[in-house]
Amino acid sequence: MEKQAKIFVAGHRGMVGGAIVNRLSELGYENLIVRTRQELNLLDQHSVEQFFLKEKPDYVFMAAAKVGGIMANNTFRADFLYENVTLTTNVIHSAYEAGCKKLLFLGSSCIYPKFAAQPIQEDSLLTGELEPTNEPYALAKIMGIKLCETYRDQYGCDFISVMPTNLYGKGDNYNLKTSHVLPALIRKFHEARAEGKPQVELWGSGSPKREFLNAQDLADACIYIMNNYSDRARVNVGVGEDLSIKELAEMVRDIVGYEGNIVWDISKPDGTPRKVLDVKRLHAMGWKNKIGLREGIQMTYEDFLENIDSYSI
């Protein structure tokens, strides 16, 4: 990407989009285009088309999405499918119509089958059934991947897609009804310590294993891939290592400084038993994550403390 190129980051107010904007600025990209939801509703096809035809961005980072944890995904199933399919279709098609040089679509590791062989290779897509609790979101992301592939096949568009693992970091969502596991743990242990609670109840058995990548690392990877990769094949983005939710909970408890007990509610769903990505393709390109998990959680908790009044909790 040329330093003066027009770059549109869709979803810049989200954790990932915000990290991409910050990293682009750090690297000297000055011509960044961003719009709030009030300024540009990505669910409105006409508005998106007019925006692209007027602004004609050279490059697009498609980081906008309706996201949430198990509870949100399983409760608002129609919303997750409709909104993500609609905004993804609008942005990708409008980028094509406006002659965009290159687009990077951010998928999700939940696109892979629930019982995919571990670590999960990119070719595992559509080889088995999805995890039921987040199937609508996964289907929408799969459609985005296929749009990138088919627009490349039919129109020659340089549209690429990346599949990040579980993310966390600055600007995360701490609302317990919609958050992912790591920010939920931070909030629960923080409040339990502040209120002197003797125990914290957590969902499931604690046995599922997950991989976690800091959003700052993901942003750096996305920009690296945008500058160094042009192919139909999708790229996994992760660290290639995982740990159990129980181990994660104990790490967060230690960082927050909570000394009470953890009680596991096994009546609640665990979700996919294990999910760690095969990142050999990414490593072969020359990129690896820089932020360790404990260091990243410590940074995230410090950000939470500094901005607790502004975060949605």
In a domain, residue 246? The reply is no
Q: Which of 96, 137, 168, 258 is catalytic?
A: 137
Catalytic (active site) residue 174: no
In a domain, residue 179? The reply is no
Tell whether 11 is in a known binding site. Answer: yes
Domains held by the chain: number:
1
Instruction: Identify the pLDDT of residue 74.
Output: 86
- pLDDT tens per residue across span 139-193: 999 999 999 999 999 999 999 999 999 999 998 989 887 788 999 999 999 999 9
In a domain, residue 182? The reply is no
In a domain, residue 196? The reply is no
- pLDDT tens per residue across span 195-233: 999 999 999 999 999 999 999 999 999 999 999 999 999
CA 118/CA 4 separation, integer angstroms? 41
Domain carrying residue 141: 7-172+211-241+275-291
What pTM did the predictor assign?
0.93
Helices 215-228 and 15-26, packing angle to 10 deg: 60
In a domain, residue 192? The reply is no
Q: Closest by alpha carbon to 197, among 254, 142, 262, 134?
A: 262
Least confident stretch, 92-101, 195-204, 228-237, 262-271 = 262-271
Average pLDDT over residues 231-242: 96
Tell whether 69 is in a known binding site. Answer: no
Tell whether 267 is in a known binding site. Answer: no
In a domain, residue 60? The reply is yes
In a domain, residue 62? The reply is yes
Confidence tier at 312 by pLDDT (50, 70, 90): low
Q: Round the average pLDDT of the chain to a whole number and report it.
A: 95
User: What CATH number did the domain enclosing 92 receive?
Assistant: 3.40.50.720
In a domain, residue 191? The reply is no
